[in-house]
Structure 1
Amino acid sequence: MADFDLIRVEVAYALPHKQKIIALLVEPGTTALSAVQRSKIADHFPDLDIATAKMGIFGQSLGTKGMDSADKHVLHAGDRVEIYRPLASDPKDARRKRAEKADSAKPDAALNETDNSATD
């Protein structure tokens, strides 16, 4: 296959202290998972398990909301495959804890109310 038949895509992964974006030329019909494997990005991140990693294209998670899974999603020229880190905590649980903390920091409204009604 000639170079002019290839499409350019990128594979990206980031840790808080290190990030890597690898540009690739791949054949039309290449899947997101295949591009990640070809990029050899895991060589730069020994703890990265491509087989279990969540992936997306420009912030759209693969395998959700009608998008094909990484092993079926066919890339288009200019696509960036993003490999997502596992979540440190459940987002719903984190929001709940923040709300509880904010509620506990508020003064008790019942204790601060004054009776402004006129007495007869």
Structure 2
Amino acid sequence: MVEVEVVYAAVDRQALLRVVVPAGTTVRAALQASGVGQAFPELDLAGCPVGIFGKVVVDPDTREVQPGDRIEIYRPLLADPKEVRRLRAAKAAEAKARNQ
């Protein structure tokens, strides 16, 4: 048996769940076994992006969990960080041009 943690942070609440699964369990199967889908019904556990200790898991349907893994479920970004920086720089350049 292998003990892992499953974490998810929604906008208004968060969860850290410990789950014990048989050795050889995949990341996706561990998510299903954790019960996080019942706590957050809006989650699409079959397709949501996940990672382990901050590193994205490319294929959670085949990657097996290891003892002590911390499986993180990622939410989609509301805004593209590059676009936000570009808009902020354009606004700063415009303000600088007005002040000269």
Distance in 1 between residues matched to 2:56 and 2:89, nearest whole Å? 27
Structure 1 vs Structure 2 CA RMSD: 1.6
For residue 67 of structure 2, the aligned residue among 73, 77, 82 is 77
| TM-score normalised by L of structure 1 | 0.75
Letter in 2 for 1:98: R
Per-residue Cα deviation, 1:28-79 (whole angstroms, up to 9, x for no partner): 111110100111201111211112211000110111xxxxx11111111000
Query: Rg: which structure is higher?
Result: 1
For 2:8, what is the secondary structure of its paired residue?
A: strand
Higher relative contact order structure (alpha carbons within 8 Å, sequence separation ≥ 6) = 2
What is the number of equivalent residue pairs in this alignment?
A: 100
Matching residue of 2:26: 31
Matching residue of 1:40: 35
For structure 2, the residue ranges without an aligned partner over 5 or more in a row are: none
How high is the sequence identity, in percent, across the aligned residues?
Answer: 43
Distance in 1 between residues matched to 2:77 and 2:92, nearest whole Å? 23
